[in-house]
Amino acid sequence: MQLSSPEQLTSIIDGLLLSEAEQFDLNRRLANRSRQYFRSQIRLQRDIEGRSYQKRARRKITLDSKTHKAKDNKNMLMGFSRALKTQVNDKGFEVGLAGVVGNMARDHNEGRTLSFTTRVKGYYNSRTSRWEGGTKVKQFYQMPKRTFIGWTPALERELLAMVAEQFTAGVES
């Protein structure tokens, strides 16, 4: 059996003869496992399919002011794993991105184009801590697509195994 969407998993769980408390517990365990899977992929700097993220532009190596050693600029997405949040009820579960960091992670996950304004021929006013003068120019940046959250066959197999384990435990008792 192969699923093409998370909604099919939800319909399978609904087909089981479980009480509301048992369905909530199963959904909670499935949500936590999904979140753990996504966090581990982010920690390994890999997308949900296991491929490395697109390489970053070459950066100048900077020294840490306290240890005088080169800083490691390779872990670019480490804060995103903390933005993963789960919502669970007896009907289903969701794993999503929350907060300001979550908004940035969502832009990466979907490969959105961001717009921002800059000033051409302006100057920085140190008294007001702002850029002033010149002309405002709107620019765009295409974020490279880095998939943090998504439906994969590996995750599908893990979640189906958890559902089957719950089903066999329910049949035995």
Tens of pLDDT, residue by residue over 2-12, are 666 667 777 77
pLDDT of residue 32: 93
DSSP letters spanning the chain: ---SSHHHHHHHHHHS---HHHHHHHHHHHHHHHHHHHHHHHHTTB-TTSPBPPPPPP----B-TTT-SB-----TTGGGGGGEEEEE-SS-EEEEE-HHHHHHHHHHHHTPEEEEEEEES-EEETTTTEEESSEEEEEEEEPPP---S---HHHHHHHHHHHHHHHHHHHH-
Least confident of 29-38, 100-109, 130-139: 100-109
Tens of pLDDT, residue by residue over 19-76, are 888 888 888 999 999 999 888 887 777 777 777 776 656 556 666 667 766 655 555 5
pLDDT for residue 1 is more than 60? no
